[in-house]
Amino acid sequence: MLLDMDLGVLLPSLIPSSQSVYVLVFYFVYLAVAGEILPGKVIRGVLLSDGSQLRYRCNGLLALTLLVAILGICAKLGIVSPLVVADRGLELLSATFIFCVLVTLVLYITGRSSSDKSSSLKPHVSGNLVHDWWFGIQLNPQFMSIDLKFFFVRAGMMGWLLINLSILAKSVQDSSLSQSMILYQIFCALYILDYFVHEEYMTSTWDIIAERLGFMLVFGDLLWIPFTFSIQGWWLLHNKVELTVPAIVANCLVFVIGYLVFRGANKQKHIFKKNPKTPIWGKPPVVVGGKLLASGYWGIARHCNYLGDLMLALSFSLPCGISSPVPYFYPTYLLILLIWRERRDEVRCAEKYKEIWAEYLRLVPWRILPYVY
């Protein structure tokens, strides 16, 4: 649809109106308040190099449910239009982009002027402005005691669902609701809800433990996740697809198998980190050097969780058929990202675990997809 627009229409719709700024402000304020006051399991983060551990309150599911309920009631009462996001998608995108630039400039300035020595806030300055702004200076910067990294990723994942719901409302209003749209909506909603059910697992992921908070991460969380992961939904608003029953069944299978592999692998690692003696698939785990799990999904490939995630991404695009490459943007991007990330993670693990990692490589030779890669 973006490609069909001429520049004269596209450019004005990119300029944020005051309404789109209000939407963003409301959203961030809600998330900040809800994150602080709603009850939730408090999880300790991984042990940082100075021995400290951050605490994360995992109340995302409650915050999301409450937000959807509030917005639903407001829509019913006519206070908010459920189409506000679908109608103002481009404006919201540019408002979010401007926010990302501003907030990361502030992070750059405060990071550079920090003299904190803790692992979370110690400044890592290369001296190259673009590099430091892009990759960030501090590991876990905070604002009013809110952990910004955890906050932004939560905002991005919830934003994706809110965009999808608005697209759904638009397709109902246009009378264009299709089987494809229903499949896409169900798969994404299940994936996002599952993310928040298991929000505590997020606290040990690469982004949280290894990446500093710079433009790359803030942009990735706030803009990339919600606006590009929903491309299939936007596309389905403007394109009709006829799905056969076997195609629907195959699509559901890709989703279910992808989910089992993705969630199963992440769960096995999480449980293993908590208690390395917990049985994996009913048997005592195979452990390398007392630290690395080499059975279950982690004995099939060194990043089976990425394989599951890639299958899920594919399942979100298959409802769009194969007439256009546009809806396949997300799985294509994820394939590139996860291959790159897997390489970086291997380097990190090789440095951290040394000969234990070499032994693990001997036991589990496949990176993501057994017998292929």
Work out which of 157, 165, 292, 301 binds ligand NDP, going by CB under 6 A.
292
Q: Which one of the spans 104-112, 121-129, 192-200, 337-345 is the region binding ligand NDP (CB under 6 A)?
A: 337-345
- Smaller CB separation from ligand NDP, 272 or 328: 272
* Residue 334 C-beta: closest distance to ligand NDP, Å: 6
How far is it, in rounded angstroms, from Cα 152 to Cα 3?
A: 29
286 binds ligand NDP per the rule CB under 6 A:
no
71: how many CB neighbours lie within 10 A of its CB?
A: 20
309 binds ligand NDP per the rule CB under 6 A:
yes
Work out which of 345, 356, 361, 369 binds ligand NDP, going by CB under 6 A.
345
Q: Which one of the spans 144-152, 160-168, 211-219, 302-310 is the region binding ligand NDP (CB under 6 A)?
A: 302-310
240 binds ligand NDP per the rule CB under 6 A:
no
Q: Which one of the spans 5-13, 20-28, 71-79, 300-308 is the region binding ligand NDP (CB under 6 A)?
A: 300-308
Give CA torsion, residues 98, 100, 104, 105, to 10 deg. 0
- Using CA of residue 107, residue 108, residue 113, residue 116, what is the dihedral sign? positive
How far is it, in rounded angstroms, from Cα 163 to Cα 90?
A: 12
How far is it, in rounded angstroms, from Cα 233 to Cα 248?
A: 17
217 binds ligand NDP per the rule CB under 6 A:
no
* Residue 185 C-beta: closest distance to ligand NDP, Å: 18
* Residue 50 C-beta: closest distance to ligand NDP, Å: 16
332: how many CB neighbours lie within 10 A of its CB?
A: 13
Per the document, the length of the chain is 373
Work out which of 133, 184, 306, 328 binds ligand NDP, going by CB under 6 A.
306
Closest CA to 88 of 187, 162, 199: 162
Q: Which one of the spans 49-57, 150-158, 164-172, 333-341 is the region binding ligand NDP (CB under 6 A)?
A: 333-341
For helices 179-197 and 148-173, angle between their N-to-C axes, nearest 10 degrees: 160
How far is it, in rounded angstroms, from Cα 315 to Cα 71?
A: 28
Give the burial class of 63: count Cβ atoms within 10 A of its Cβ; 0-12 exposed, 13-18 middle, 19 or more buried: buried
* Residue 49 C-beta: closest distance to ligand NDP, Å: 11
- Smaller CB separation from ligand NDP, 11 or 197: 197
Closest CA to 156 of 105, 196, 120, 185: 196
305 binds ligand NDP per the rule CB under 6 A:
yes
Work out which of 40, 348, 361, 366 binds ligand NDP, going by CB under 6 A.
348
Q: Which one of the spans 20-28, 50-58, 244-252, 348-356 is the region binding ligand NDP (CB under 6 A)?
A: 348-356
158 binds ligand NDP per the rule CB under 6 A:
no
Q: CA-based angle 34:38:40, to the nearest 5? A: 125
Q: Which one of the spans 134-142, 242-250, 277-285, 340-348 is the region binding ligand NDP (CB under 6 A)?
A: 340-348
Which residues contact residue 44 at a Cβ distance below 8 angstroms, ignoring those fewer than 6 apart?
A: 53, 54, 55, 56, 203
Chain residues that interact with ligand NDP, rule: CB under 6 A: 205-206, 262, 266, 269, 272, 292-293, 298, 303, 305-306, 309, 334, 337, 341, 345, 348-349, 352
